Amino acid sequence: MEVFSSTMAVMISHQKAQKYLATVDPKLAVLIEKYGDCKLEPHTNYYKELVDSIVSQQLSVKAADTIFGRFLDLFGGHMPTPKQILKTDIESMRGVGFSYAKANYVKDLAERIEDGRLDLVHIATLPNQDVIEQLVAVKGIGEWSAHMFMIFSLGRTNILPTGDLGIRKSFMVLYGFKDLPSPLEMLQISLQNNWAPYQSVASWYLWKSLDNS
């Protein structure tokens, strides 16, 4: 019942956001009409999502899934605890497809969770900037990864990932830029069109506009 209620709450929030964005921005209104309801739903296994985000960097979805599956196989098919990761040698991680850098990044993540520098129990209660600061302190996690985590794991509704190439391409097409817009130009568009407090939902529609499948 709790899962159903949570899902319903997300749907209602998105419907409110869609109605608002369609009112304040005619260009977004066209996308909302075309693509229908926003399908953003938080993935709440924060630890797994962060490990996966490191594994997936600069890889195709298929390659990342393969490596992540092999990684889980090291631990009997289950997601290892941070302590188990810290006890695993780098060469074992290399053997399933990790680069040296990514193996060290995942170990740094595990170490920070173990010693409390990264508090995933309470991270959902922190302001956006505090979340970003905790995450980018982890080796291999930058602002883009932090933005993705806030949108797709924490379910934050007012994040504009200005460093995302797809979002920049969509901005360029939708708002008539000759070149990829700068983060400042993107923020100005958002401000001029009053996207807040639903920049994440606006971003979802911008991503969808690039989906030619």
**Positions marked active-site:** 164
Written as six digits, the tokens of 49 are 């999502």
Q: How is residue 108 written in tokens? A: 């740094």
In this structure, what DSSP letter does residue 124 have? G
* Contact between 191 and 183 (Cβ < 8 Å): no
Instruction: State how far the Cα of 140 lies from the Cα of 150, in Å rounded to an integer.
Output: 16
- Which helix H or strand E contains 1, and what residues bound it? none
Residue 27 CB: number of other CB atoms within 10 A?
16
Contact 139, 105 (CB under 8 A): yes
In whole angstroms, what separates CA 181 from the centre of its chain?
21
Question: Distance between CA 83 and CA 80 in Å, rounded?
Answer: 8
Q: Where are the alpha helices (DSSP H) in the chain?
A: 2-24, 26-35, 46-56, 61-73, 82-87, 90-95, 100-115, 128-136, 143-152, 165-174, 183-192, 199-208
